[in-house]
Amino acid sequence: MSTAALSPRATTAVLRAEARLFRREPATLFWVVLFPTLLLGILGAIPSFREANDDLDGLRTIDVYVPVVVLLALIMAGIQGMPAVVAGYREHGVLRRMSTTPIPPSALLGAQMGLHGAAALGSALFSLAAGRLVFDVALPRQAFGYGLALLLSVAAALALGTLATALARTTKAANAIGTSVTFPMMFCAGLWLPVQAMPDVLARIVELTPFGAASLALGQAAGGDWPGWSHLGVLTLWTVVLTAASVRWFRWE
């Protein structure tokens, strides 16, 4: 039987195996799926966050933070979760052994990207539902634009995570890179201060980062406007550049 004929079946087998392992990682499931919604609940418990804010064009702070916690799930999945797993496989020779079988190592990377991306999307839906049911946050009024911005945000997060995976040769290095990137990306997403409330100069700088652009695009779509093409363009550009860099530097061994 040819390698070409084996590849789809082998890829499916890898995906099933990785899904079983993924479900057995409670820490990953907590930080990706549950933590963003728990954080939303903590923020929503602050009385002032449930009141209209003139600095946010009359929106409540909790309204603005729903897109932020959606992005937090993407950061935890793409930058913190996936690189450590793949780097661990490289460190322990799993990828090297796979290269001697009909199963391409790329099947494992694709499975990891798919699983972490799906978990991030599930967390996003969970956060949107919690915001609506618990704090009466309106669902995105521009649903199609919100979905497009969310998918581009996921792609950018996974591309950034793949680059971290390419640069890290060990799990320890992956964790160090992930941590050093996570906190700046959280700031750009608006976790400590919503992008809409940042000083003009800082906001313009943050808009050029993937998660700053994502935060604004999701916020615009949530309010009923089509996401700014400049923000979608920034997300697309970052995805392309990060993916190209990952392909250039990624090594299976």
What tens-digit pLDDT sequence spans the chain (253 residues)? 444 445 677 778 888 888 888 888 888 888 888 899 999 999 999 998 888 887 777 788 899 899 999 999 999 999 988 998 888 888 888 888 877 777 777 788 889 999 999 999 999 999 999 999 999 999 999 999 999 999 999 999 999 999 998 888 888 999 999 899 999 999 999 988 888 888 889 999 999 999 999 999 999 999 899 999 999 999 999 999 999 999 888 887 7
d(CA 190, CA 185): 9
Q: Report the SS3 class of residue 121.
A: helix
pTM greater than the 0.95 cutoff: no
Residues forming beta bridges with residue 52, ordered by sequence position: 60
